[in-house]
């Protein structure tokens, strides 16, 4: 794993943006998997600025949503969908046919997971996966547990995940999560994980200790040959 340390969130975000643009230049039809939440927001904002200057660069880009809160309306503020619409899909003008995402309130969550898994089988593998790390070490909604799930699944959300900023303000609370699984993520050709802020220091230390455990799902990224961790000095303990 390559680890790059930055003084500020802005510098970290600029690097993430540059890496994403570099990959899109290599492959216009790149399949980009996008996390939501605070970690990648600035990166996406900078990508939007690149779109303004060079819209044709994004003319083949495909997006897959990493995960979604379950049991809420798709357009509810705080849904991953609302976030992606605002920060990625609209700024980069990604049409429906180049977007894959879980429905947040399916009649049958298992069938919805199968649908996304099938889409990923056809469209995938993911070329570049953008991740954040949860305060408990989760990636997507792969929560710490005795066993982790390889493929798309309905996840039981931890208390800590329910306290995430996106969910804590929701009127209707999510009752579960819908998420790509560990193998779906680890089969990505390239992964960038973004970590910033003092609040992430403790979990960053565990993650960077190279001890692979299902109690820190992000630690499985150590098994992947092409991961870049972009971390700011507030989260990094040398």
* Residues acting as catalytic residues: 67, 136, 138, 143
CA distance 129 to 184: 10
Q: Annotate 217-232 with b (16+ C-beta within 10 A) or e (fewer).
A: bbbbbeebeebbbbbb
- Residue 85, Cα to own-chain centre: how many angstroms? 14
Residue 101 binding ligand F6R, by CB under 6 A: no
Of 11-19, 128-136, 144-152, 223-231, the window that binds ligand F6R (rule: CB under 6 A) is 128-136
Query: According to CB under 6 A, which residues from 177 to 236 bind ligand F6R?
Result: none
Nearer to ligand F6R, 79 or 105 (CB): 79
Q: Is 70 in the site for ligand F6R (CB under 6 A)?
A: no
Among 20, 140, 227, 229, the residue binding ligand F6R under the rule CB under 6 A is 140
144 sits near ligand F6R (criterion: CB under 6 A): no
- Closest contact distance (angstroms) between CB of 111 and ligand F6R is 22
For tokens 């970590």, the residue is 195
Closest-CA residue to 230 (of 20, 89, 31): 20
Instruction: Using CB under 6 A, pick the residue from 17, 62, 87, 138 that binds ligand F6R.
Output: 138
Of 36, 50, 100, 158, which lies in the binding site for ligand F6R, with binding defined by CB under 6 A? 36
Q: Which residue has the tokens 């692979």?
A: 212
Stretch in the footprint of ligand F6R (CB under 6 A) among 35-43, 104-112, 208-216, 219-227: 35-43
Q: List, in order, residues 6 or more apart from 99 with CB less than 8 Å away.
A: 62, 63, 64, 65, 89
């Amino acid at each position: 794993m390559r680890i790059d340390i930055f003084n500020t969130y802005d510098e970290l975000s600029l690097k993430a943006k540059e890496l994403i643009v570099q990959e899109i230049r290599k492959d216009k039809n790149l399949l980009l998997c996008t996390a939501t939440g605070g970690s990648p927001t600035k990166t996406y904002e900078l990508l939007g600025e690149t779109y303004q200057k060079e819209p044709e660069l994004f003319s083949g880009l495909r997006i897959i949503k990493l995960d979604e809160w379950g049991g809420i309306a798709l357009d509810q503020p705080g849904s991953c969908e609302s976030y992606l619409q605002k920060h990625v899909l609209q700024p980069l003008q990604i049409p429906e046919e180049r977007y894959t995402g879980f429905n947040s309130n399916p009649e049958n969550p298992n069938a919805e997971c199968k649908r996304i898994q099938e889409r990923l089988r056809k469209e995938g593998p993911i070329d570049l996966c953008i991740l954040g790390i949860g305060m408990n070490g989760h990636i997507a909604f792969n929560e710490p547990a005795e066993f982790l799930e390889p493929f798309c699944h309905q996840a039981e959300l931890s208390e800590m995940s329910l306290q995430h900023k996106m969910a804590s303000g929701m009127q209707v609370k999510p009752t579960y999560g819908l998420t790509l699984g560990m193998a779906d993520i680890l089969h990505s050709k390239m992964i960038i994980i973004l970590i910033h802020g003092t609040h992430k220091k403790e979990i960053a230390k565990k993650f960077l200790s190279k001890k692979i455990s299902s109690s820190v799902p992000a630690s499985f990224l150590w098994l992947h040959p092409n991961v870049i961790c972009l971390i700011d000095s507030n989260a990094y303990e040398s």
